[in-house]
Amino acid sequence: MSENLTRLNKYLSEAGYCSRRAADRLIDAGRVTINDVVPEMGTKVASEDVVKVDGEIIGERKQDFVYLAFNKPVGIVCTTDTRVEKDNIIDYINYPKRIFPIGRLDKPSEGLILMTDDGDIVNKILRASNNHEKEYIVTVDQPISQTFVERMAGGIYLEDLGKRTKKCVVKKIDKFTFSIILTQGLNRQIRRMCDYLNYEVQTLKRVRIMNIKLDMPLGTYRELTKEEFKTLTQLISESTKTYDPDQLNPRKSRR
């Protein structure tokens, strides 16, 4: 009988160390070893293998995962590499367990970002083909015209990325403010779209990710409620999810 092997990036993800994408970066940087040997990308792990990241042994899959909603302030960077960026999200939250952000929210932006130590759920939420909604409130530097709303909603070709944005929902709130609901996450997408139309973003706040709404003070976090987590797992049910939402034990909001 052939031995059950797991790809190294999946192993790190299921162990709750990081997402698969982040694992690939660690492997490529030579920071991961299997039995004290630096492996090639795509190497598979056997049950008896010892996997380390920066010399730290990574164990078997966790069961008691953390799922947080955090209201990120402007100036905080969504990176787990605390050696490079001093204003990073990990040091700011200072959570007692190792966690990492699901996706990104750029440094000049604020608002909702989800944090976890469940690498398996990250790919399911970020997978663009699932069309998961993210909602933002944006202020710009000049009056918002109907043409601006229609062109933003209809999709814009971003030449520097070589991609056209998907159609989205855009609503004018007041003279300088609009809301936008995206189902994709291109790099600095809203800022690039506005810039294409000769508008400059003044403030950008994410207020919702799928069913999770921003409802905590700036700079604080809370754990997802059981109901939020249950709905979230239903929304990503296209992919297998092994964690039981009934194990979630929400606690109070905190810094």
Both tokens of 111, joined, read: 């608002």
Both tokens of 148, joined, read: 């601006």
The answer to whether 103 and 132 are in contact (CB under 8 A) is no
DSSP per position, 12-49: HHHTTSS-HHHHHHHHHTT-EEETTBPPPTT-EE-TT-
Is 106 noted as a catalytic residue in this protein? yes
Residue 228: burial class (beta carbons within 10 Å; 0-12, 13-18, 19+): buried
d(CA 83, CA 126): 25
Marked catalytic residue, from 81, 106, 118, 244: 106
d(CA 70, CA 118): 16
Residue type, 88: N
C-alpha pair distances (Å), 44 with each of 2, 8, 159? 13, 5, 38
* Sheet strands (E) in 92-165: 100-102, 110-116, 134-140, 157-158, 163-164
Contacts of 102 (CB under 8 A, 6+ apart): 19, 113, 114, 115, 116, 121, 122, 125, 126
Residue 133: burial class (beta carbons within 10 Å; 0-12, 13-18, 19+): middle
Active-site residue set: 106
